[in-house]
Amino acid sequence: MRTHIDSYWPHARSGWRVFRKLRDAWAGRISLQASSNCPLHLFLGEDGIALADEVADAGGVLGMVTTGLGDPDRPMPPNLQDQLDRFFALAEERGLALDLHVDETGDTRARMLHMVAATALRRNFPRPIQCSHCCSLALQSEECAAETIRLCAEAGITIVVLPMCNMYLQGRDAGRTPRWRGITLVHEFHAAGVPVSFASDNCRDPFFAYGDYDLIEVYREAVRIAHLDHPFGEWPQSVGPIPAAALGLPQHGSICVGAQADLILFRARSMTELLARPQSDRVVLRNGLVLEAAPPDYRELDRLLVQ
């Protein structure tokens, strides 16, 4: 699991300190990774250096946000390319991979994904790059979208789609029925050879009050939202080996001789049966043994809620 930590320096120190403790406490049960999460411009100056050092010291991934840039009330800054090159340089100096939230908007002027891919190619960036959301691409012209997808394929960028969260947030206007699904061009990315993963985002927080980090739920809803059926084809890999490889865990997400017996068993006999119900009676195997643990009760969080 990769989590994104709000990283506004100097307050970021506390978040990364808690992450280290949780990663150590859950070692052997969850492979926990973390990426910084803050606006791109905050990497300028000494604070940016300090944050990049903190991420490197924690063995994390350097991440930033440009979601919403291009909206009328958030115009593109004139030095955006300089900001992006600075961000890449900080990662290069520390040997860090990148995880970016980009173009989470319905404004077609937001083309940060194109800029990231072009920058990675120009700098010959050697580490993995993962970009999530990329919503505005679905509303751009066919020519513009095709060029961005081509650059992503050439740069080796992987794409993460948050189907439930993106559909829930995009096109939201009080009293008005949403007109689009909010997700990016998953079929076009796939056709171009760009790895696509589906995931959860903002579970039970102010952005998205629902969701439970259940990848079966994510895949089930992604099939409906993004039309990943007839045929189902290779799309089940988008919640298995593809995201595992993107996280640097290629030994996970696949069934093969000699692999660790971490499996989920379902009563469903076909894909339509699997996707028709939530599969709440699934059986989880960990190291070949049935995992008896049950999901925690939400009441455990009561003490953390502001009254």
Domains of the chain by start residue, with CATH:
2-254 (3.20.20.140), 255-307 (no CATH)
Q: Give the least confident one: 94-98, 273-277, 296-300.
A: 296-300
Phi, psi of 195, rounded to the nearest 5 degrees: -65, 130
pLDDT, residue 277, reads: 94
**136 vs 253, residue with greater confidence:** 136
285 Cβ neighbours under 8 A, 6+ residues apart: 261, 262, 263, 264, 265, 291
Per-residue pLDDT of 286-303, as tens digits, reads 889 999 888 888 898 888
**71 vs 255, residue with greater confidence:** 255
Residues 54, 104, 273, 292: which is the catalytic one? Answer: 104
Q: Cβ atoms within 10 A of the Cβ of 294, count?
A: 6
Mean of per-residue pLDDT scores for the chain? 93
pLDDT, residue 198, reads: 97
Is 292 an active-site residue? no
Measure CA 42 to chain center.
21
**34 vs 69, residue with greater confidence:** 34
Q: Cβ atoms within 10 A of the Cβ of 209, count?
A: 10
